[in-house]
Structure 1
Amino acid sequence: MRFLNYGSVNIDLVFSVDHVVQPGETLSSTGFFKSAGGKGANQSAALAKAGADVTHAGKIGADGQFLVDLLSGYGVDTSLIRLYEGASGQALIQLDKQKQNAIVLFGGGNLAITKGEIDESLALFGPGDMLVLQNEIVHVSYLIERAKARGMSVCLNTAPFDEKILGYPLHLVDLLVVNEIEGAALAGSAQGSTFSEVLEALVHAYPGSEIVLTAGKHGAYYGYRSLRLHEPIYELPVADTTAAGDTFIGYFLTSRSLGHGQQEALRYACKASGIAVSRVGAMGSIPFAGEVFG
């Protein structure tokens, strides 16, 4: 299986802070670094590091060339990342002393993608291939519809969640990946619903989709038709949670493409994300296949 990940490519600006800054507050940072990120790019890096055949499509400014070089170094086909005259996407990340993060996004090139570029990219893929999407670029509905028309399967990660997602043609999505907050919002679940209840609601709302619900320290859940699965976390000391979900998705998809069953794919994905959160950074924290499958 070939993967086409049409997704965000961002420059991450990470500030280490005592706590997330409050309105009207000026706060000194105890550390700073610049790195490659964007949920789309992180997921492409995870797919490539896991051993998948992945092409990333997106758009950057001249300030983002190092992002392309880094993805290429991991084995991602970057031939469909287009250059334009504006700025690349940016993420300002506050990382507090509990290693939790707060993120402010600037869309940049991620919001400058055109339908014509999408058509050119999708023309290179077809039946047997999978389109991987997140919610950090424009024209997500168009991408889903055009990919399905070409016989591709579609994986949608609903992060970051907003009301636009409710208008997407979710009935066409083959694999829907949500975290506990996104899942509850999408399912319309009552406050205090258990993970199993949220999963059940999603399975009934989207009967044609496989559902993966990531639940932080509570592991990951899977539902499709009558099958329900759970996998606990792979526990290591937490250094930075930034790319945990992206790592999970890359390894889950790669595991499935290699012929592993759903439970085994959940196990490898939880292991990979556990390793990732034990390291600082986004793309660079994602483990290679030998660390996970070995």
Structure 2
Amino acid sequence: MRANIVVIGSLNMDLVARAERLPGAGETLMGESFVAAPGGKGANQAVAAARLGAQVAMIGCVGDDVYGVRLRQALVDEGIDCQAVSVNDDTTSGVALIVVAAASQNAIVIVAGSNGQLSPESVQRFDALLQAADLIICQLEVPVATVFHALARGRALGKVVILNPAPVTGPLPADWLALVDYLIPNEGEAEALTGLPVVSRESAEVAALTLRALGAGKVIITLGDEGAVFADNRGVKHFPAPKVQPVDTTAAGDTFVGGFAAALVAGCDEHQAIAFGQRAAALSVTRAGAQASIPHLYELESL
């Protein structure tokens, strides 16, 4: 069966330590637990979309190492088409070093490794996947030239294009936003993209409208337990978040993106898709881990 969603992005092995709190600069803390588990924003979003009902293909790159084998197999086990997940024997697989505090905050350092080898040519080799898809998802954990190629190719093919601009440290190139149907940053990313403070629902609404004025088709800014704001040509709407007791927020944003995309290709309207993504993300934060926390469709149907 063809994939109706193609995710172009990163695969990382998450090396996760839990501690009472996040360490300060120069400080050494005793941790409480450690686990190594598959992650990476691209792979997480692919897993979320697949578990929540979509047919998914992944375009990415892993190293020729034990982490690479495990990262690829984790996607295969989810029924994700991995024909375009290549193996590079010159670099290690990507890793993310994550510290999770008892209050559920986290701090992350990423080493790109083989993710940095995903080139525009790597994506072009699997152009047939893009041609057959309904929706394309990108993030910023692979080279910017590759992301631009994917966005431009998606626009040329008339596909729905989602960009989750993470991680981002400043405004995107001027010609990018016009290629994006749905721009989905969190509050920190929205602040980096616009240069505006995003510290409340009201300031997030201003940032969303600013991003639309800069060229993005539609904008969803996720605000954690404060919900999300959605801006289109009709204005801005706020979506409250479901109330849960958080355990670990790792991959919550990825779960939202994957859930939103899966709902869109299933025929939901945008408001329904946002609410669906929020429900999935809310359930994910009640569990520890990245891909381990992402719910399946049947779990949401039973809520």
TM-score computed with the length of structure 2 as normaliser:
0.91
- The residue that corresponds to 1:72 in the other structure is 76
Say if 1:122 and 1:147, in contact at 8 Å, map to a contact too.
no
- Cα gap change, 1:197/1:137 in structure 2, threshold over 3 Å: closer, same or farther? same
| Structure 1 residues without counterparts, runs of 5 or longer | none
Say if 2:166 and 2:189, in contact at 8 Å, map to a contact too.
yes
The Cα offsets for residues 144-176 of structure 1, whole Å up to 9 and x where unpaired, read as 223323333311000111237345622111111
Aligned residue among 96, 101, 114 for 2:101 = 96
- The residue that corresponds to 1:32 in the other structure is 34
- The residue that corresponds to 1:129 in the other structure is 134
The Cα offsets for residues 8-60 of structure 1, whole Å up to 9 and x where unpaired, read as 00000001122222222222211111111000000000000011011001000
The CA distance in 2 between the partners of 1:191 and 1:99, in whole Å, is 21
Offset of residue 68 of structure 1 = 1.4
- The residue that corresponds to 2:152 in the other structure is 145
- The residue that corresponds to 1:119 in the other structure is 124
Secondary structure in 1 matching 2:185? strand
Count of matched residue positions in the alignment of Structure 1 and Structure 2: 293
Q: Which amino acid in 1 is paired with 2:50?
A: A
The CA distance in 2 between the partners of 1:147 and 1:260, in whole Å, is 21
Say if 2:6 and 2:129, in contact at 8 Å, map to a contact too.
no
The CA distance in 1 between the partners of 2:238 and 2:291, in whole Å, is 26
Is 1:203 aligned with 2:212? yes
- The residue that corresponds to 2:45 in the other structure is 43
TM-score computed with the length of structure 1 as normaliser:
0.94
Q: Which amino acid in 1 is paired with 2:78?
A: Y
Secondary structure in 2 matching 1:163? coil
Select between 143-152 and 32-41 the one with higher mean Cα deviation.
143-152
- Cα gap change, 1:45/1:168 in structure 2, threshold over 3 Å: closer, same or farther? farther
Percentage of identical aligned residues: 33
The CA distance in 2 between the partners of 1:127 and 1:53, in whole Å, is 11
Secondary structure in 1 matching 2:5? strand
| Structure 2 residues without counterparts, runs of 5 or longer | none
Q: Which amino acid in 2 is paired with 1:154?
A: V
- The residue that corresponds to 1:179 in the other structure is 186
Offset of residue 116 of structure 1 = 1.9
**How do 1:1-294 residues align onto structure 2 when only pairs under 5 Å count?**
2-61=4-63, 62-63=65-66, 64-85=68-89, 86-126=91-131, 129-138=134-143, 139-163=146-170, 165-166=172-173, 169-190=176-197, 194-206=203-215, 209-294=217-302
What RMSD over aligned residues (CA atoms) do the two structures have, in Å? 1.8
Offset of residue 227 of structure 1 = 4.2
Secondary structure in 2 matching 1:124? helix
